Amino acid sequence: MQSINPVNGEVIHTYTEMPSVEAEHRIKQCHEAFLSWRKYSIEKRADRVHHAATLLKERKSRYARLMTEEMGKHLREAEAEIEKCAWVFEYYATHAVEFLSDTPVKTEMAESFITYQPLGVVLAVMPWNFPFWQVFRFAAPALMAGNGALLKHASNVCGCALAIEEVFSDAGFPKALFSTLLIPGKRVEEVITHPLVKAVTLTGSTEAGRSVAAMAGRCLKKSVLELGGSDPYLILEDADLDKAVTACVKSRLINNGQSCIAAKRFIVVEAVYEAFVQAFTAQMEAIKMGDPTDNMADIGPQASLALRDALHRQVTESVKAGARCLIGGHIPEEKGAWYPPTVLVDVQKGMPAYAEELFGPVAAIIRVKDTEEAIAVANDTAFGLGSGIFSEDIKNARRIARDRIIAGATAVNDFVKSDPRLPFGGVGESGYGRELSVFGIREFVNIKAVTVGA
């Protein structure tokens, strides 16, 4: 298991795979810690969580640089990611009492109420693209609800995984309540099927989600899946094009284009199509690719050569099928996993750029006749994670967002962002269940009904 710097392809560190006997020991330790932690008051749990948030802020520079080295995220985005992790911890430390307090229900009984009890040890299978945020947005609600947590992180960010474990240890959580398992993906099943593991959450590809869901299903264990997306952004005839182009470019290139909720398919009505394409392409062309530690650079490399090459295959196959590449679309000669901002037009059904998730700085622009066709094309996907609508008719755009677009989130005149205050997740091949907000903290609890007779 290696961490490789995608800027230059150099090996940062090699990690030894954890043997099964050690993984078994860590699972048992996590369970023992859970039995203690579940007895803590929510207020006492919140003290530990607040302390962890403080440590994140104090160590922001160190942890951000580690992320940048392991997966190529721009340093300023990595620092913002650490700040967001502290935010989600502070949010749940503040609101967990409200979210987990018993809910009274009026019935014919003397007393009826709903209570929320922790499930036990929860396994998190997490991806490399937001190596801190993805983990902390799971850990904050899961731990505040009284659960234990095991982390199986992506193999290329083992350094981040161990640093995250360090945060919980140094913040005074019970020993092993949060524990990292340095194991490859092929060994996830041995953890999911362990009798002390009660649930699993995965953020990753649709293929990985299917596999984990099947394993959990065979064991009758709760699962939450946040998978990929091919997020449509509708540019309607009355859109403010300056606002739309700026937001769409920013969303497409967040995290070097490697975000499940990035704007990916730009569905533009023909009345503004040429103007949008011209302005959008100009902004994409002005983006500077370079060292992610350099403030003058806008985006860095892809996380690995394999991921870069898979993205390039999608581009070349789409071009062979009739798409036109206006800018980018080539592999640079520089050493490292580099791929330039790329704009594809004349994208049609049947092309990879139309149907598949483009996990990198590649934009697929689709021309449509009118709003109705834009909605139809937006929903013509197996995914359903994020989406956006640009229109100056707010009432109509709000109605379309609420009633017509099939997705877990839709933004009007902006792009979708994960926010601790709002539920996050998708439908279809983008997964099921919700993270964040009150819904996220209630995913891994036993929602128990209690009645008391007269």
Catalytic sites, residue numbers? 226, 260
Token pair listed for 115: 């209570």
- Going by C-beta distance under 8 Å and a sequence separation of 6 or more, which residues neighbour residue 78? 63, 64, 65, 67, 68
DSSP 424: B
- Spatial distance between the Cα atoms of 303 and 305, rounded to a whole number of angstroms: 7
**DSSP string covering 180-236:** E----GGGHHHHHTSTTEEEEEEES-HHHHHHHHHHHHHTT-EEEEE----EEEEE-
- Please give the Cα distance from 400 to 416 (Å, whole number): 16
d(CA 376, CA 391): 17
User: Rounded to whole angstroms, how far apart are CA atoms 204 and 210?
Assistant: 10
Angle at 260 between CA 215 and CA 132, to 5 degrees: 80
Which of 63, 37, 121, 52 minimizes the C-alpha distance to 92? 52
Tokens 């990611």, located at residue:
81
Query: Exposed, middle or buried, 454 (CB in 10 Å: 0-12/13-18/19+)?
Result: exposed
Q: What is the DSSP letter of 346?
A: S
Secondary structure class of 124 (helix, strand, coil): strand
- Count other Cβ atoms within 10 Å, centred on residue 103: 12
